[in-house]
Amino acid sequence: MKNILVTGGLGYIGSHTVVELYNKGYNPIVLDDKSNSEKSVIDSLKKLTKEDLIVLDVDIKNINSLRENLTKINIDGVIHFAAYKSVGESVNNPLKYYSNNITGIINILMIMQDLNINNFIFSSSCTVYGETNQVPIGEFHPVVEAMSPYGNTKQIGEEIIKDLVSSTDFKAYSLRYFNPIGAHGSGVIGELAYGVPNHLVPYLTQVANGTRGGLNVFGNDYNTIDGTCIRDYIHVVDLAKAHIYALDKLLISKEGRIYDVYNLGTGKGTSVLELISAFEKVNKIKIPYNIVERRSGDVEQAFADVTKANKELNWFAKLSIEDALKSAWKWQSYYDKKQKYK
Ligand code: WQD
């Protein structure tokens, strides 16, 4: 059984990836300082995987603690999620983002070199393509000036890996996610939203549970089918599975040096109004909404060309928007119930 370290393994995409690693016969080892998570995720993960799941409470910025913890284990590969991810917060507090996200990737790569671990998967983002109107977006699309410090940390992260691979035998892929939504089918893990959610689906589920009065739809005067923005919403379970396909390919490769990037999305665009209507239909809950001003920084349309991941990783997104919205609501309901009886 191969040991795979998952940094940020208690986070949204990380936790779902831990489950899929386990389902595919890998032994996931979680490293997470719970800075954007909570202990209950460990309990849920243990239920979905195994009781003796290893969870290392380590701040990735602390290289000594990283080294101390990781030298004790034989690790075959690393999937690196641990990073801050709020675009708005990164604009207001850039140093927090550069410090955590850049120090984090450098530290984990340095320890990997020391311990001779050569397989690395990086959690990147479609944000590296910046503001573009060229859809679908393929990997050949230029990586342009980042729109936020957060986006810049993803670009810099990719550059660091590329430079490392040019200098030594090391194998890595950067996976560029489009818009992950939904939750595990069990409803016991999902996207935790502290405070007012920025993303559309966590906001929707908080309107559905009555926490928020209504959804603000940011603009309906875009040049799209119904005037609202188009995004490529991908079920988090499909996204998590893509990591396993990528890892399988890296681990069997005999080449010494590999670096490549893959878009992960469905290849299909959905408008904000279409998403609201799908949520209402599948969960039988009415969502009150208002059309408000455009949100600054939003692009009209962004959806992926996923041909490369389909062909080279043999991975396909299989779950629907409806599956995702049903599971998102199941997760929100589970979480609300748990908070009530706490
Ligand atoms: C989706 C759509 C909003 C909230 C972000 C990051 C990006 C990448 C993916 C990680 C947009 C609209 C939203 C609301 C709304 N992440 N909306 N009302 O902005 O596409 O992308 O996640 O790397 O870097 O920026 O996602 O969920 O915020 O918005 O109308 O209350 O929903 O305008 O069209 P976004 P989102």
DSSP, residue by residue, 167-188: HSS-EEEEEEE-EEE---TTSS
53: CB partners within 8 A, 6+ apart = 18, 28, 30, 42, 45, 46
Q: CB of 222 within 8 A of CB of 66?
A: no
Distances in Å between the alpha carbon of 93 and those of 29, 139, 146, 205? 31, 29, 16, 27
Å from CA of 322 to ligand 1 middle: 18
> Which pLDDT belongs to residue 194?
86
Q: CB of 288 within 8 A of CB of 207?
A: yes
Closest ligand 1 atom to Cα of 294: 33
Question: Quick one: average pLDDT of 313-339?
Answer: 97
Nearest CA to ligand 1 atom 30: 217
Nearest CA to ligand 1 atom 25: 87
Nearest-angstrom CA–CA distance, 340 and 342: 6
Nearest-angstrom CA–CA distance, 308 and 262: 7
Closest ligand 1 atom to Cα of 87: 25
Closest ligand 1 atom to Cα of 215: 31
pLDDT bucket at 93, cuts 50 / 70 / 90: very high
Given 129, 150, 245, 335, the catalytic residue: 150
pLDDT bucket at 59, cuts 50 / 70 / 90: very high
> Which pLDDT belongs to residue 341?
84
> Which pLDDT belongs to residue 22?
98
> Which pLDDT belongs to residue 133?
79
Nearest-angstrom CA–CA distance, 220 and 310: 33
Q: Classify strands 230-231 and 270-271 as parallel, antiparallel or unpaired.
A: antiparallel
Å from CA of 188 to ligand 1 middle: 24
Q: CB of 340 within 8 A of CB of 294?
A: no
Question: Quick one: average pLDDT of 189-211?
Answer: 95
pLDDT bucket at 339, cuts 50 / 70 / 90: confident
Residue 130 falls in which region: left (phi positive, over 0), alpha (psi -120 to 50) or beta: left
Question: Quick one: average pLDDT of 16-44?
Answer: 97
Burial class (CB in 10 A: 0-12, 13-18, 19+), 255: exposed
Q: Which domain holds residue 67?
A: 3-340
pLDDT bucket at 34, cuts 50 / 70 / 90: very high
Residue with tokens 């009150």: 288
Give me the CATH number covering residue 42. Answer: 3.40.50.720
Nearest CA to ligand 1 atom 26: 199
Q: Mutation test of ligand 1: which of 129, 231, 296 has the most ligand atoms closer than 8 Å to its C-beta?
A: 231
- Within 6 A (CB) of ligand 1 lie 85, 87, 125-127, 179, 198-200, 203, 215-218, 229, 231, 272, 295, 298
Closest ligand 1 atom to Cα of 231: 20
Beta bridge partners of 7: 31, 80
Question: Quick one: average pLDDT of 114-143?
Answer: 94
Å from CA of 330 to ligand 1 middle: 21
Q: Torsion angle of alpha carbons 100, 101, 105, 111, nearest 10°? A: 10
Q: Does pTM top 0.95 for this prediction? A: yes
Number of domains in the chain: 1
Å from CA of 72 to ligand 1 middle: 40
Is the pLDDT assigned to residue 342 strictly greater than 80? no
Question: Quick one: average pLDDT of 308-327?
Answer: 98
> Which pLDDT belongs to residue 132?
84
Max CA pair span of the chain:
57
Nearest-angstrom CA–CA distance, 138 and 136: 6
Nearest-angstrom CA–CA distance, 92 and 239: 29
Q: Which two tokens stand for residue 69?
A: 């913890």
CA dihedral over 247, 9, 239, 52, signed as positive or negative:
positive
Å from CA of 199 to ligand 1 middle: 5
- CA 46, chain centre distance (Å): 20
- CA 318, chain centre distance (Å): 17
Residue with tokens 């609300």: 336
Whether 194 is catalytic is: no
Q: How confident is the model over 148-169, as pLDDT tens digits?
A: 999 999 999 999 999 999 999 9
